[in-house]
């Protein structure tokens, strides 16, 4: 973002058609949390929760564990850092980016998850690998077997055809062998 | 007595049309097309009227509009026996609907139109006969009748490797038919009748058949498995689709494949409930392989038509899953999926035809792009068909697939079917992937100069594609219009299964 900031045309405020719904949603987002301060909303929905005071509802959560504090501090320092960098410009975003270059690059590429998904998993493993392999198997393996049977039948017929030479002597020989085979069969099985 | 001709009229109206077209020497090309449209429209109207007259309330007979006539020597125990129940009637309506649409999408045929439309109409009779026959011999006869027109239509009016594709389709199908005929004859030798109702009422397991009952089951099943198609018997399908003319692709995807699914419910499951239960695990595994493998192969296709053809392999996997989950809900879902896939994929193929015809005969996805600029209506309808194909709520695809999944998941056909159902549901993710990616590559992105002169769908095409859209939305929003009738056909099947 920061690296391109200088190239952007003058940034201006969004038009009212976008601002108004956002403001309405922001107000609702803030006040909707208050509905359940005393556990009243949970009871309204049929939850068997116990009632507690407004103070308890507001600050009770901070007494249970340090996690809310940690997240608040992280969020707060993030807001402060952004303010210092982009609004007051007292810290140079470019120099931070240079100092923490490995982190900066990793974060700006979102841990390369999109690349991993698009190029490696979908493009590589699935499309170019597995799916293409299936397609190859389908045309060479499955369909190859079908065509193989057809070619085999045609080939066998082509080979068998050669026995029809038109030579009467050969046919006579075949008839003689056939008769002998029948006689042998009768003697063996009868 | 019970002989009211409505089914015979529906079945043979297209044949009559074919005869008129073939012999009507004075007909102009336009006259031929109008004649074809008239006869298919009449058949569609009659089937709609049968649909509204059909009584699907509780306690009504499952087979209605029954026609019985002797047409072979009496001692053969085979009759001209037609009838429809809640399973076949929606498919009859679907067939006549696809029939009139396929005439409309063929309006641009200029090569030998007389023969073309005669074959096309004869093909419709063959399919209608399969869905209405209640006699195995008659069923087989109609099953075979459909092959000849298909061979002619693909090999003469097709494109690319049309002779190879036509020959492959016919030889592959005949291989299945031969086994089916042998199975039927073995059954007949033991049972002494070809009548499906009598056979269903018998306990076939107690018969003294020449070969084990399971062997007969699989011989007959082979014909249906090739037709549906079931992995690994599917490779004739992409070749036939890719090289067939548009109308034939629409019929092939729209109704021809359903002959396989219909046969499985009507014959495999109804006549052999015991064997079907015993082997359900194998067929469900093949169904899931078909769904996932079919979808995986679909996604890497570059030819638009071949892509849709492979998606049918995946979608027919859901039909197979629904049938062999052997559960009331799953079977209803399978029957509905057949109707839904008929209109959705029929529309997809019609749209491929529109894109192909208007685009200098180009359907290579690596070259198409930005067509939404030149053909906005086609882009929207194509997108809608794509969304129905991936099962978006509000379209027929959603209702059908949802019923299949719910039925299969709650089925107790065998242990572990839930796992297979979950794997099958994953197929939807891949379906969404290839459908949206296909739409993006064909229609979106920057408009290309080479397509600057491309026109949108014309008036006849508009009628055809909007008829499909209406059907998809109607079933999607008010599925009971079909499922109420289907229930009448599924209930007897559940009784045969003993649940």
In chain A, the residue whose alpha carbon lies closest to the alpha carbon of B231 is A142
- Cβ–Cβ contact A130 with B under 8 A: yes
Judged against a pLDDT cut of 80, whether residue A74 lies above it is answered with yes
Give residue-wise pLDDT tens across range B136-168: 999 999 999 999 999 999 999 999 899 999 999
At A8 the pLDDT is 54
pLDDT of the residue at A41: 78
Contacts across the A-B interface (CB distance below 8 Å): 33
Q: Do B299 and A132 touch (CB under 8 A)?
A: no
Per-residue pLDDT tens over the stretch B329-340: 999 999 999 999
Chain B environment of A139 (Cβ under 8 Å): 235
Q: In this predicted model, what pLDDT tens digit does every residue of B173-192 receive, in sequence order?
A: 999 999 999 999 999 999 99
What's the rounded mean pLDDT across residues B359-384?
91
Nearest chain B Cα distance for residue A132, angstroms: 6
B98 vs B445 pLDDT, higher one = B98
| Mean pLDDT (whole number) for B366-394 | 92
Whole-number pLDDT of residue B2? 46
pLDDT value at A180 more than 90: yes
Q: List pLDDT tens digits, range A18-51.
A: 999 999 999 999 888 787 777 777 777 777 767 7
Specify the pLDDT at position A99. Answer: 86
Tell me the average pLDDT across B271-295: 95
ipTM of the complex: 0.86
Task: For residues B107-116, give the mean pLDDT.
Answer: 92
Cβ B299–A143 below 8 Å, yes or no? Answer: no
Q: Hey, is the C-beta of B366 within 8 angstroms of any chain A C-beta? A: no
- Name the percent of chain B lying above pLDDT 90: 82
3-state secondary structure chain B: CCECCHHHHHHHHHHHHHHHHHHCCCCCHHHHHHHHHHHHHHHHHHHHHHHHHCCCCCCCCCCEEEEEECCCCHHHCCCEEEEECCCHHHHHHHHHHHHHHHHHHCCCCCCCHHHHHHHHHHHHHHHHHHHHECEHHHHHHHHHHCHHHHHHHHHHHCCCCHHHHHHHHHHHHHHHHHHHHHHHHHHHHHHCCCEHHHHHHCCHHHCCCCCCHHHHHHHHHHHHHHHCCCCCCCCHHHHHHHHCCHHHHHHHHHHHHHHHHHHHHHHHHHHCHHHHHHHHHHHHHHHHHHHHHHHHHHHCCCEHHHHHHHHHHHHHHHHHHHHHCCCHHHHHHHHHHHHHHHHHHHHHHHHHHHHHHHCCCCCECCCCCCCCCCCHHHHHHHHHHHHHHCCCCCCHHHHHHHHHHHHHHCCCCCCCHHHHHHHHHHHHHHHHHHHHHHHHHHHCCCCCHHHCCCCCCCHHHHHHHHHHHHHHHHHHHCCHHHHHHHHHHHHHHHHHCCC
| B300/A143 CB distance under 8 A | no
Question: What is the arithmetic mean of pLDDT over A89-114?
Answer: 86
Residue A1 has pLDDT above 70, yes or no: no
Q: Any chain B CB within 8 A of the CB of A121?
A: no
Q: Tell whether B296 lies on the interface with A, counting CB pairs under 8 A.
A: yes
User: Is the CB of residue B436 less than 8 Å away from at least one CB of chain A?
Assistant: no
B299 vs A127, A143, A145: nearest CB: A127
CA distance B389 to chain A (A): 20
């Amino acid at each position: 973002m920061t690296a391109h900031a200088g190239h952007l045309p003058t940034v201006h405020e969004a038009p009212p058609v976008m601002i108004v719904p956002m403001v309405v949603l922001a107000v609702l987002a803030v006040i909707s949390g208050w509905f359940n301060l005393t556990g009243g909303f949970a009871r309204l929905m049929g939850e068997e929760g116990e009632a507690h005071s407004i103070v308890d509802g507001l600050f009770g959560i901070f007494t249970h564990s340090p996690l809310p504090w940690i997240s608040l501090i992280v969020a707060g320092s993030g807001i402060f850092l952004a303010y210092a960098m982009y609004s007051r410009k007292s810290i140079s975003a470019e120099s931070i980016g240079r100092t923490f270059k490995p982190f900066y690059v990793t974060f700006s590429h979102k841990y390369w998850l999109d690349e991993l998904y698009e190029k490696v998993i979908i493009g590589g493993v699935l499309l170019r690998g597995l799916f293409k392999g299936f397609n190859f198997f389908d045309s060479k393996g499955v369909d190859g077997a079908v065509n193989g049977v057809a070619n085999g039948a045609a080939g066998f017929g082509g080979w068998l055809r050669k026995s029809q030479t038109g030579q009467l002597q050969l046919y006579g020989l075949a008839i003689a062998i056939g008769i002998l085979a029948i006689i042998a069969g009768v003697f063996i099985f009868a | 007595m019970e002989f009211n001709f409505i089914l015979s009229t529906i079945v043979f109206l297209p044949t009559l049309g074919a005869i008129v077209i073939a012999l009507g020497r004075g007909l102009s090309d336009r006259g031929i097309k109008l004649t074809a449209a008239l006869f298919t429209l009449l058949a569609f109207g009659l089937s709609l009227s049968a649909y509204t007259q059909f009584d699907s309330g509780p306690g009504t007979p499952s087979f209605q509009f029954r026609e019985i006539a002797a047409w072979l020597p009496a001692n053969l125990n085979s009759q001209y026996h037609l009838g429809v129940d809640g399973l076949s009637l929606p498919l009859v309506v679907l067939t006549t609907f696809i029939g009139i649409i396929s005439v409309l999408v063929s309006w641009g045929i200029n090569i030998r139109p007389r023969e073309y439309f005669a074959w096309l109409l004869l093909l419709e009779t063959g399919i209608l006969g399969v869905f209405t026959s209640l006699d195995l011999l008659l069923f087989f006869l109609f099953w075979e009748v459909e092959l000849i027109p298909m061979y002619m239509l693909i090999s003469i009016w097709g494109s690319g490797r049309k002779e190879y594709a036509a020959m492959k389709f016919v030889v592959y199908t005949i291989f299945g038919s031969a086994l089916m005929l042998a199975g039927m004859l073995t059954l007949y030798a033991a049972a002494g009748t070809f009548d499906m109702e009598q056979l269903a009422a018998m306990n076939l397991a107690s018969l003294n058949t020449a070969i084990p009952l399971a062997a007969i089951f699989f011989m007959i099943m082979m014909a249906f498995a090739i037709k549906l198609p079931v992995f690994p018997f599917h490779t004739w399908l992409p070749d036939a689709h890719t090289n067939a003319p548009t109308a034939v692709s629409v019929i092939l995807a729209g109704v021809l494949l359903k002959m396989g699914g219909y046969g499985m419910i009507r014959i495999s499951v109804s006549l052999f409930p015991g064997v079907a239960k015993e082997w359900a695990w194998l067929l469900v595994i093949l169904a899931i392989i078909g769904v996932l493998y079919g979808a995986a192969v679909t996604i890497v296709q570059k030819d638009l038509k071949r892509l849709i053809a492979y998606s049918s392999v995946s979608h027919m996997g859901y039909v197979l899953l629904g049938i062999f989950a052997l559960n009331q809900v799953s079977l209803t879902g399978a029957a509905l999926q057949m109707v839904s896939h008929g209109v959705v994929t029929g529309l997809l193929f019609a749209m491929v035809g529109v894109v192909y015809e208007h685009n200098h005969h180009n359907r290579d996805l690596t070259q198409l792009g930005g067509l939404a600029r030149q053909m906005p209506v086609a882009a929207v309808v194509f997108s809608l068909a794509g969304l129905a194909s991936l099962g978006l709520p509000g379209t027929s695809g959603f209702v059908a697939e949802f019923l299949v999944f719910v039925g299969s998941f709650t089925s107790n056909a065998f242990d572990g079917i839930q796992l297979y159902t979950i794997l099958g549901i994953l197929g939807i993710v891949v379906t969404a992937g290839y459908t949206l990616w296909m739409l993006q590559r064909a229609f979106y992105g920057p408009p290309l100069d080479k397509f600057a002169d491309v026109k949108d769908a014309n008036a006849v095409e508009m009628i055809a594609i909007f008829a499909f859209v209406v059907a998809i939305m109607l079933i999607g929003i008010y599925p009971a219009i079909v499922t109420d009738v289907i229930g009448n056909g599924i209930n007897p099947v559940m009784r045969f299964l003993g649940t």
